């Protein structure tokens, strides 16, 4: 896959997407969002890919936000469409992928950058990372799901504070708040995420996809997460992975999921 603003690599069954606009601190312009959509879509359709790690290039930023230069002169209609389209093709899209996505937050994750990290299934940060939703300092609000996902991850009070102050929190604070799962040294970030991805890759992708669906159901309006869990649990019984997983356990051997 050849792109202008992102780099996609794959080692065995783990894929890496690196957002690569370092001179603009990897800010998400239209083209980058479209390329990310294409890359995530292709990797999710590839049965050999068991986990995706998304990160930013350089040592300074994961993503410093949506590209401000692109929307500075937008109208109400254009602004609305920017958020609607972006949520559809990237942020909701990533959240609902069947392949697990880990955000390796290697520096500034601001605005759309933090929103992308929050759309991933979970996050690991490097010690130098700084996170925030500074949109109100620009006279706008988060539009790529930030008001919703930040509240879900850190609670309403902390989300209110972060959004209202437009401030940044450190990696250590993000861990304390539950926004990231781990904090590691920058040079350890990708190896650490790859190790986690490796653990995920040993399990049943079919079951993991069902678990993602059930967990996300709790955050979807008018959907009963418990009912989705029951349905997905039941469907597991008809999969080859279930037969292999349970047979392997009873035969006291490691499962081999195809």
User: By CB under 6 A, what part of segment 105-144 binds ligand COA?
Assistant: 108, 110-112, 134-135, 138
Q: Judged by CB under 6 A, does residue 27 bind ligand COA?
A: yes
Q: Which residues are part of the catalytic machinery?
A: 115, 135
Q: Quick one: 64 or 183, whose CB is closer to ligand COA?
A: 64
We find the least distance from the C-beta atom of residue 37 to ligand COA, in angstroms, to be 19
Assign 3-class secondary structure to the chain. CCCCCEEEEEECCEEEEEECCHHHCCCECHHHHHHHHHHHHHHHHCCCCCEEEEEECCCCEEECCECHHHHCCCCHHHHHHHHHHHHHHHHHHHHCCCCCEEEEECCEEECHHHHHHHHCCEEEEECCCEEECCHHHHCCCCCCCHHHHHHHHHCHHHHHHHHHHCCEEEHHHHHHHCCCCEEECHHHHHHHHHHHHHHHHCCCHHHHHHHHHHHHHCCCCCCCHHHHHHHHHHHHCCCHHHHHHHHHHHCCCCCCCC
Report how far residue 210's alpha carbon sits from residue 214's, in angstroms, rounded to the nearest whole number: 6
Report how far residue 65's alpha carbon sits from residue 87's, in angstroms, rounded to the nearest whole number: 14
Q: Judged by CB under 6 A, does residue 54 bind ligand COA?
A: no
Q: Using CB under 6 A, which of 64, 90, 104, 174 touches ligand COA?
A: 64
Stretch that binds ligand COA, among 59-67, 95-103, 149-157, 207-215 (CB under 6 A): 59-67
Q: Determine the size of the site formed for ligand COA (CB under 6 A).
A: 16
Q: Using CB under 6 A, which of 68, 184, 200, 215 touches ligand COA?
A: 68
We find the least distance from the C-beta atom of residue 74 to ligand COA, in angstroms, to be 12
Residue linked to tokens 């990696």: 171
Closest C-alpha among 85, 74, 75 to residue 30? 85
Q: Using CB under 6 A, which of 6, 17, 25, 97 touches ligand COA?
A: 25
Q: Quick one: 73 or 221, whose CB is closer to ligand COA?
A: 73
Stretch that binds ligand COA, among 60-68, 78-86, 181-189, 228-236 (CB under 6 A): 60-68
Q: Quick one: 115 or 241, whose CB is closer to ligand COA?
A: 115
Q: Quick one: 108 or 257, whose CB is closer to ligand COA?
A: 108
Q: Judged by CB under 6 A, does residue 65 bind ligand COA?
A: yes
Q: Quick one: 116 or 193, whose CB is closer to ligand COA?
A: 116
Contact residues: ligand COA, CB under 6 A: 24-25, 27, 64-69, 108, 110-112, 134-135, 138
């Amino acid at each position: 896959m050849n792109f202008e603003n992102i780099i996609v690599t794959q080692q065995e069954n783990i894929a890496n997407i690196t957002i690569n606009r370092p001179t603009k601190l990897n800010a998400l312009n239209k083209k980058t969002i479209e390329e990310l959509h294409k890359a995530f879509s292709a990797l999710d359709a590839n049965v050999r890919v068991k986990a995706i790690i998304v990160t930013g290039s350089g040592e300074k930023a994961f993503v410093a936000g949506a590209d401000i230069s692109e929307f500075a002169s937008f109208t109400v209609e254009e602004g609305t469409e920017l958020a609607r389209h972006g949520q559809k093709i990237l942020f909701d899209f990533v959240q609902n992928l069947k392949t697990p996505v880990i955000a390796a937050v290697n520096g500034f994750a601001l605005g759309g950058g933090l929103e992308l990290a929050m759309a991933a299934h979970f996050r690991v940060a490097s010690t130098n990372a700084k996170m925030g939703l500074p949109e109100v300092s620009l006279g706008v609000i988060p539009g790529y799901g930030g008001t919703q996902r930040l509240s879900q991850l850190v609670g309403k009070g902390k989300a209110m504070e972060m959004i209202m102050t437009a401030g940044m929190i450190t990696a250590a604070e993000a861990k304390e708040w539950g926004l990231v799962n781990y904090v590691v040294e920058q040079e350890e970030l990708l190896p650490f995420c790859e190790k986690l991805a490796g653990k995920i890759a040993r399990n049943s992708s079919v079951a993991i996809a069902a678990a993602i669906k059930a967990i996300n159901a709790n955050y979807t309006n008018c959907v009963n997460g418990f009912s989705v869990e029951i349905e997905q649990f039941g469907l597991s019984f008809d999969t080859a992975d279930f037969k292999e997983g349970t047979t392997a356990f009873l035969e006291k051997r490691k499962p081999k999921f195809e």
